[in-house]
Amino acid sequence: MGKKKIGVISDTHGLLRPCVPRIFQGCELIIHAGDIGKPAVLDGLRGIAPVVAVRGNMDRGDWAAEIPLTEVVKIENIYAYVLHDLGSLDLDPKTSGIHAVISGHSHKPAEYRRNGVLYLNPGSAGPGRFNLPVSAALMEIDGETINISFVNLLDYQ
């Protein structure tokens, strides 16, 4: 076991920015927390690393019907629960053995801990909206330690 680098992205809304492959280079996994927009986004991400994705409220059509609303991902000794809208969280992460909850939807990058559980929203990586940053996150897992760094995607244009 060594350090694992995970790319976390959300709310692409059909846009996979050209800088994302460079930023996620060396990631062992990419997590997309919904509002993908179109299947080409997932195809592009799969060209970088394996992808776990959940469906967002804007993901519609036959291609999106196959994408789950939630997903549990095991990375080393860490269990992450992935969903699009944190408001629809329907379990107690702590008692469920979840170490991290990853969501999108709000377009606001956020990282905080509650009851020993990490909550992460990478922000929106798609078209800029609402005067919010255009961002993604890198998650580094080392044993049971999780470190997060946010990336302003506009710095790479």
Give the residue-averaged pLDDT of 38-51.
Answer: 98
- CATH number at 150 reads 3.60.21.10
Domain count of the chain? 1
Give the residue-averaged pLDDT of 92-97.
Answer: 96
Among 124, 133, 132, CA closest to 104:
124
Per-residue pLDDT at 5? 97
| Domain that residue 24 falls in | 4-156
Q: Which residues pair with 40 in a beta bridge?
A: none
β-strands 135-142, 4-9: how paired? antiparallel
**In this structure, what token pair is assigned to residue 50?**
């394996």
Q: Which residues pair with 71 in a beta bridge?
A: 82
Q: Is 101 helix (H, G, I), strand (E, B) or coil?
A: strand
Q: Quote the CA–CA distance of 8 and 102 in Å, as a whole number.
A: 8
pTM of the predicted model as reported, rounded to 2 decimal places: 0.96
